[in-house]
A and B are shown apart, each in its own frame.
Chain A
Amino acid sequence: MTSQRFSADKVDNKDLKRCFKSVILFAAIAFAVIFVSSVVPVIMQITPAHMMLVDPKEPIISYFGIEFLGLAMSPGMFICGVLMAQVLFGFLFKKNSVNVYLSFGITRSKLFLNRMLAALCSMLLAVAVPLTITLLLNIYAFGASAHVFQVFFYLVTGFFVSGAAGFAMMSFICANTGSRIESVITIVLLSSIPSRAISLAASLKGALLTGYYVGDMETMLGTSKLSFLNPMTILIDTDQTVHTLDMIFEEISPVISLSTVLCGNKVPEDLMLDMGLMLPIIVWSVLTVGMLVLGYFLLNKRKAENSNSFGKFYLSSVINGVAVAVYSISSVLGIVAMVFLTESELSRNVSPLFIILLLLIIPSAAYFLAELLIHRKMRPTLRSLPVLAGLLAVFICAFITLSTDCFGTFNKLPELSEIKSIQMDVVDPQNLFDFNAVDNMEDTYSNYKSTDEDDIKLCTKYFEKASKEARDDSFEGTLSFRLILKNGKQIVRRFNIYDDKLIYDYAKEVYGSHYFDGLMKYLMLNGIDVSQSTEYDENHMYNFYENPNSNPQGLLKGSTYYVSDSSLLFDKGIVSYIAIDTEGMIEDNDALMEALYKDMRAMSFEQMYFSNVRPVAIISSGAMLVPYENEKYKAGDFSWDGLEREYTDEFVEDGKPVKENGAYAPQTPMFFVYPGMTNTLNYLKQNGYTVGETERKIKCVYVTRDSKSASDRFTELSKQLDNIDGWFGFLEDDVPKNFGWANVIGVDASCIERYNYYAYKNEGFSDTAINILNRVFSDSGAPLVLIENPEKAKAVVEKSVPFYDSYNAEGRHVYIVYDDGAIVSEYLPEANLDVLSNKTM
């Protein structure tokens, strides 16, 4: 028996030797890569020529190189481990090799242990030897320190665990798959399950969130901290995504590049073995041991007859099925979450019930089909269904956990004491101050934050109210909040609001807050001068309304303004092609903004936004996109100054190439100047602008037959026009018809664009605005009513107001034509309609 045992040991030793020979190539490659990326650069850096450059006041603590191929090292080692396992356990995939190996005088356990030992030892040598040389070089050149040893330990364990994890995962899969192709598919799916699961959690959170986040979903939803589960990023800090590698390496990683040290940055030694860095290594060490143990037992249980087969192993087939199910639901939920996050119409209609149905149906179908494809038989497919039931149970638990937020991770409103500062997207009816601070992720555009206690209370108050908004059909707008916590985290949320009173209360209360005052100062007084901005800034500024995310700071101060008469206010907008008077260009923006700021701060919320007083002037930059090729149209009063950007658009119309010239004017804010705004009026008068002093006589008055405005009529007609251009369609979608309160006295620029577009598209249109207006109303079946009686016309004008609430309003629109051809658009409220039926006039 002794001699038998001896010979058995001999067999084991020889098998082990063979295993080492099989993986030596991979180990040699790993060794060479680590050597080249670590030892070589260190030797180069510590040569006397380099050391001469070092400032003795900034001593180098350590230098391990590694930045060369740094990002690829962890996945590289993982793949190295996978390949080693493939080579060592490849015999399991063919019947003829299985026949030979499993009939040898060596047990399955020893076959596994020898292969494991060979792979792990060779991997450890490949990692430890070059890094030990680097360590010795560091000690020789920079002296021994705790930091040097910590870096050495971190790198050795990180690289080794990456490789061991790859080997463990692949050996576990090899023991549990029938063919090489099945093993490759399984490892790809299994190794990607963690990242898919993280993405699924993020998607689920995103889809279930009350309100939605803006920006990178995984980061914002806090699921990126689960990235330590991704085997490809074992050696990358868990809180960072891959693209922030530079930052990791320069700021918190122990792998400090020499250049950084030379620049004077001290190595924060207390960060060296911080759990954030070691967590993935610890987690994957445990997982690796677990997978090796599992692989060991599975190899012992493996049925040799299942070699050279596909789908014969229950565990691998259900792993693949689960991966497919997770992929499918993650993708579908990702789309659903994106829909939620992008605030589309759909997002207001998708209910949690729909999500739970998706969670049940999509993975079930995907899993079943995957299993059917793997097994190609119904019976084993049905046998795999209990796993699906378990998976669905997990999904449902996740759904319940996240939808009820039982851990308080994403719907929780922090305590006031936890909040450092806040940002709110201000809802103001003229969109003057809504500069999308919450949406904008880049610091350049989100500088304005408030740390004021009252502002924080205000923010949390409306955050809470908005989060409780019940979904219904009457979407009124959105409220956005960013809560920056003292622990560095941010809660960024945008809520759809269905109660117009909530928006009104919010806007009114914010108007009187420190936050609003600070924001006004920031935008009107402290902003950058456009003349000093780069072309990039200008481009973004010009596109402000089309791309709110590009709103640069100082937009209000930085624009070029024109003064125009308020008679040009037309149906809530300025007929800018008539309005822009280049003579009225304001030279000194700083003084204008200061005057406006003082006047606006002196006004109440109602005075500023809900005034029934006609403004005496409008300060605007103009707003429109006008094709001007047509001569008749060009014959208007407008002219192009430095604001516009000419364009040439070539497209095919009716099978013929068409070249269209146009001018692209910016859409910028518009200030209404009311009689009480003395600072602004004084400024204008002192600078030679005559506002509110023009004497006009009413020529005639037109009234609409119903509550539909010119804008509504344009919309109806424009839909009937053939060959609607893409940009026009975009405008159609851009302004929901029931947009409601938020647009009460906002600038409905689209009305003007429709006006122009309609005129442009209709051959034979008149070149006077009132004729176009008459034709539009006639064409849409409700011609304007001309009030011929001068007394009645005067009464109507007196009873009309300049601004109106179009939402659910039943008043009439009034168009007053003056003797100089100007048209003033006013509104006759429902309460004053009896003036139209007064037969005594």
Chain B
Amino acid sequence: MIEIKNVTKKFDDFVAVENLSFNVEPSSIYGLIGYNGAGKTTLIKTAAGIYRPDGGEVLMGSQNTYDNDDVRKEMFYIPDDLYFPMGSSIASMARFYKNYYPNFNDTTFRNLLEVFGLPLGGKLRGFSKGMQRQAEIILALSSRPKYLLLDETFDGLDPQKKELTKKLFIEYIAENEASLIISSHNLFELSNLCDRVGLINGKHLTMDCSVDEVSRNYSKIRLIFDHEVSEADFKNIKYKTFSTDGKICMLVFEGNYKEQIEKLNSLRPVAIDEYRLTMEEVFLNEMEDKSYDITKIFR
């Protein structure tokens, strides 16, 4: 299990993340989402023991990760900015990682190489960004870690390889009871991968729940009227967002809308249809405090 406990990280006077806590159970994948610069990479690097936290701690298997060789030999971190020394190939990198990961499995390595179809001796610096990512994923999974920390790992992968990678991660996690944290600002990438998601917004974790809970926390309904309606007609109703197109209105509620069904019925809609919010919509709803009125920008 990975435990992020009240982690705070500062860069000089700038607070990147503050008092952040969540857990990642074995055999589960945690998606870390947030806008650019929210602190996802900082949190992952702190979790990987690269950064020393200014407050709190990160535990893996109940052991602190910072400068702990026992824990980190079972942890693999795939950074956003990959490291391939000059002239290195997948083969040479495999030899390199074998030095530091005692569980490195050659069979897994060969199998994965075959699945991704990458050349063993090709120079990695000559590879495309996507191919370099694939190489790193192969190396990571071949190292057979108990803890995987992935930073924007799908960035650059084509849709087919993205799907393949997701399946591999899910299979690996289930097979090895591993814990995985993956960060992304692209919710679609995480939608069918993660068990739980956390949203970092304004240095803090503003949401930490399972994917199912995400949908449960919000409800979205469509109301159809036989007459024109405006937002003023809904003044007695507590909603999160409202939009209307004359006779049709869309409302998003925090929690279950059914608590207010009587008030909605009193408006005499012709029909009420219930929808499930996508993670993208949840993300945007959560982030709406930070949204800008772009219509003002070019005035």
Contacts and interface: CB of A to CB of B under 8 A. Distances in A.
Interface of A: 4-5, 7-8, 10-11, 14-15, 17-18, 94-100, 102-110, 300, 303-305
Contact of B99 (A5, A18, A95, A97): A18
B67 A105 contact: no
The B interface, classified by DSSP as helix, strand, loop or mixed, is loop
16 contacts: A8-B70, A8-B73, A10-B102, A99-B48, A99-B79, A102-B48, A102-B50, A103-B49, A103-B50, A104-B73, A105-B102, A106-B69, A106-B72, A109-B67, A304-B51, A305-B51
B77 to A, nearest CB: 4
A795 B45 CA distance: 109
A11 B102 contact: yes
A97 B83 contact: yes
B40 to A, nearest CB: 14
Interface string B17-56: 0000000000000000000000000000100111110000
Contacts of B11: 305
A8 B45 contact: no
Contact of A96 (B81, B99, B149): B81
Contact of B49 (A5, A7, A102, A303): A102
B70 A100 contact: no
B100 A106 contact: yes
Most chain B beta carbons < 10 A, residue from A18, A110, A305: A305
Contact of B72 (A15, A95, A103, A305): A103
Given A96-B79, A99-B45, A305-B11, A104 B70 contact: no
A97 B81 CA distance: 9
Contacts of B68: 107
Interface string B284-296: 0000000000000
A98 to B, nearest CB: 7
A452 to B, nearest CB: 73
Contacts of B79: 96, 99-100
B74 interface: yes
B82 interface: yes
Nearest to A110: B69
B81 A99 contact: yes
A15 B68 CA distance: 16
A20 to B, nearest CB: 12
Interface string B91-127: 0000010111111000000000000000000000000
A588 B11 CA distance: 91
> Chain B, interface size: which category?
20 to 34
B72 A104 contact: yes
B99 A100 contact: no
Contacts of B75: 103, 105
Contacts of A98: 50
Nearest to B75: A103
Contacts of B99: 11, 14-15, 17-18
A17 B100 CA distance: 12
Nearest to B76: A103
Given A15-B99, A18-B99, A107-B68, A7 B73 contact: yes
A103 B69 CA distance: 9
B96 to A, nearest CB: 8
Q: What 3 A-B pairs have minimum CB-CB distances, sorted nearest first?
A: A105-B73, A14-B99, A96-B83
B73 A108 contact: no
Contacts of A14: 98-100
A99 B47 CA distance: 12
A679 B298 CA distance: 113
Contacts of B51: 303-305
B78 to A, nearest CB: 9
B83 A100 contact: yes
Contacts of B101: 105
A384 to B, nearest CB: 14
Contacts of A4: 70, 73
Given A105-B71, A304-B45, A304-B52, 12 more contacts: A4-B73, A5-B70, A15-B99, A15-B100, A18-B96, A99-B83, A103-B49, A105-B70, A105-B101, A106-B69, A300-B67, A304-B50
A105 B50 contact: no
Contacts of B81: 95-96, 99
Nearest to A12: B69
Contacts of A96: 79, 81-83
Contacts of A108: 67
A103 B48 contact: yes
A171 to B, nearest CB: 18
B67 A107 contact: yes
Contacts of B98: 14
Most chain A beta carbons < 10 A, residue from B69, B74, B83: B69
A122 B240 CA distance: 69
Nearest to A91: B83
B69 A107 contact: yes
A330 to B, nearest CB: 34
B191 to A, nearest CB: 27
Contacts of A305: 11, 51
A106 B100 CA distance: 8
Nearest to A109: B67
A11 B50 contact: no
A14 to B, nearest CB: 4
A4 B289 CA distance: 48
A64 to B, nearest CB: 40
A11 B52 CA distance: 22
Given A14-B99, A14-B100, A99-B83, A303 B69 contact: no
A414 B155 CA distance: 80
Contacts of B50: 98-99, 102-103, 304
A381 to B, nearest CB: 14
B69 to A, nearest CB: 5
Given A99-B77, A104-B72, A303 B67 contact: no
Nearest to A300: B67
A305 B82 CA distance: 16
B83 A11 contact: no
Nearest to A95: B81
A104 B100 contact: yes
A369 to B, nearest CB: 22
Nearest to A97: B83
A679 B79 CA distance: 103
Contact of A8 (B69, B85, B96): B69
Contacts of A104: 69, 72-73, 100
Contacts of B49: 102-103
Most chain A beta carbons < 10 A, residue from B48, B72, B82, B85: B72
B128 to A, nearest CB: 17
B208 to A, nearest CB: 24
Contacts of B100: 11, 14-15, 104-106
